[in-house]
Amino acid sequence: MDADDVRDEKLKVLRSLRKMDLSDIKRDTVRGQYTEGNSEGLLVKGYREEANVPPDSRTETFVALKAHINNARWANVPFFLRTGKRLQKRHSEIIIEFSEQPFSIFSNVTQQPNRLIISLQPEESIQLQMMVKEPGSGMNMSPVKLGLDLQLSSDKRRAEAYERLLMDVIKGRLTHFMRRDELEAAWTWVEPILHGWETLDDKPREYPAGSWGPAASSALMARENLCWFEEN
């Protein structure tokens, strides 16, 4: 599969994103705006106290939402997305939590979910967290982590994010850039959400700098009997 094939598949996924109506937006999205707090060991101002920001600004600095992809492969699988400024730490990751089996031979055993964790920033790594049976005749299980730390996999210097993008521009590699049709498909999904927020006219929920966002984002997960990774 070449770069164009990969981007064609991405385009199919973008076009398959389930559109949100006003009730979906009200139920499945959370907007936030940071207030004064302690971030990375420093006392920082709230967003509305920052330079050149209107004191009555409703600009969001945090968004969490639940999305769905309308195709056979991802039917009934929720995707939870979260991003924000002035959170507890600068971190980007993708977490895939595998569904529990409908029947298990390990009865009356508390199990942690099996997860694939792909860390993008600040260090790149891949980790598979699994519950496995402990050796012996018992039926006890314990968590095991299998990991690949890309920082330790090679002694060569790894290029920073913008270095890689600039080198891609120079060499004409388009893999890390979105095509025009991809951007249009993304905005086709995003714009109704932005218009929905304007219609609902709700102020962003406040959260202190240095936290993981407003409590409503945790409630968004709790409705599915889930929680954000750091809340485990």
Kindly report the pTM of this predicted structure.
0.85
| Alpha-carbon separation of residue 165 from 4, 14, 170 (angstroms) | 17, 22, 9
Q: Specify the DSSP element, H or E, that contains 136.
A: none
pLDDT of 118 > 90? The answer is yes
In angstroms, what is the C-alpha Rg of the chain?
21
User: Which residues touch 121 (CB under 8 Å, ≥6 apart)?
Assistant: 90, 91, 92, 93, 161
pLDDT of 179 > 80? The answer is yes
Query: Which pLDDT score is estimated for 213?
Result: 95
For residues 225 and 97, is the Cβ–Cβ distance under 8 A? Answer: no
Reported confidence tier of residue 1, pLDDT bands at 50, 70, 90: low
| Alpha-carbon separation of residue 106 from 62, 120, 129 (angstroms) | 40, 34, 18
For residues 76 and 222, is the Cβ–Cβ distance under 8 A? Answer: no
Give the pLDDT confidence of 11-40 residue by residue, as tens digits: 898 999 999 999 999 999 999 999 999 987
Q: Specify the DSSP element, H or E, that contains 32.
A: strand 29-35
- In the chain the domains, ranked by start, together with CATH numbers, are 3-231 (3.30.360.10)
